């Protein structure tokens, strides 16, 4: 969120502008909406947080560390996200459960005026109907978001 500005060749000044704070807030709100629709089981709203030609993937950390493109899931575009939801709702059988996401450490790098790379940490806690909770997954979101007429949307979302 802060910009590093060389001052005299050795020391650095860290400056955060109002525009940086506003952009961080907008990106944080997108991430909050993302986890809220999942945690509240409003999954049909989830694809609307992505661009039409998005890429969504879940990649094991070991594969990411070795630059291997093999992931657990890859979806290309909103239609594939919707297909995944249909599968979750109609074909897959799971014990009833709820999720709660916790995110932290949101950082971003502006690529251009309408494109930003975003990274943050996450932990997902799964709670079963008997009340037992466990850490379901922990990792890092590595995303590229795009400014659209609908606001910021995920163009590429990776969970590693």
Q: For residue range 86-96, what is the model confidence (pLDDT) as tens digits?
A: 988 888 777 88
Query: So where are the chain's domains?
Result: 3-159
Of residues 137, 139, 136, the one with CA closest to residue 160: 139
Over range 43-51, report the average pLDDT.
96
DSSP state of 66: T
Instruction: Tell me the C-alpha distance between 92 and 112, whole Å.
Output: 40
Extract the runs of DSSP E, i.e. beta strands, from the chain. 3-6, 12-15, 50-58, 73-76, 97-112, 115-128, 133-148, 151-159
pTM of the shown model: 0.85
Instruction: Give the number of residues written for the chain.
Output: 160
**pLDDT at site 50:** 98
Contacts of 51 (CB under 8 A, 6+ apart): 78, 146, 148, 153, 154, 155
Judged against a pLDDT cut of 80, whether residue 134 lies above it is answered with: yes
For residue 71, what pLDDT is reported?
A: 83
Predicted pLDDT of residue 12:
62
Query: Is the Cβ–Cβ distance between 89 and 43 less than 8 Å?
Result: yes
Q: What is the mean pLDDT of residues 55-77?
A: 89
User: Does 128 score more than 80 pLDDT?
Assistant: yes
**What's the chain's Rg over C-alpha atoms?**
18
Whole-angstrom CA distances from 39 to 7, 19, 139, 149 are: 45, 30, 17, 26
> What is the predicted pLDDT for the residue at 68?
83
> Residue range 19-26: average pLDDT?
94
Query: 56: which 2 tokens?
Result: 């969504």
Query: What pLDDT is attached to residue 16?
Result: 85
The arrangement of secondary structure in 3-159, i.e. its CATH architecture, is Roll (3.10)
């Amino acid at each position: 969120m802060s910009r590093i500005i060389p001052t005299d060749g050795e020391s650095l000044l860290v400056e955060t502008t109002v525009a940086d704070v506003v952009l961080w807030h907008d990106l944080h709100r997108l991430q909050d909406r993302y986890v809220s629709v999942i945690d509240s089981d409003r999954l049909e709203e989830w694809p609307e947080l992505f661009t039409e030609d998005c890429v969504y993937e879940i990649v094991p950390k070991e594969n990411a560390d070795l630059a291997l493109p093999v992931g657990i899931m890859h979806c290309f575009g909103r239609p594939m996200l919707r297909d995944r939801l249909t599968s979750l709702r109609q074909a897959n059988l799971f014990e009833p459960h709820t999720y709660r996401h916790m995110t932290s450490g949101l950082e971003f790098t502006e690529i251009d005026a309408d494109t930003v790379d975003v990274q943050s940490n996450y932990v997902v806690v799964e709670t079963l109907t008997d009340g037992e909770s466990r850490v379901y997954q922990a990792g890092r979101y590595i995303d590229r978001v795009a400014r659209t007429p609908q606001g910021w949307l995920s163009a590429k979302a990776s969970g590693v």
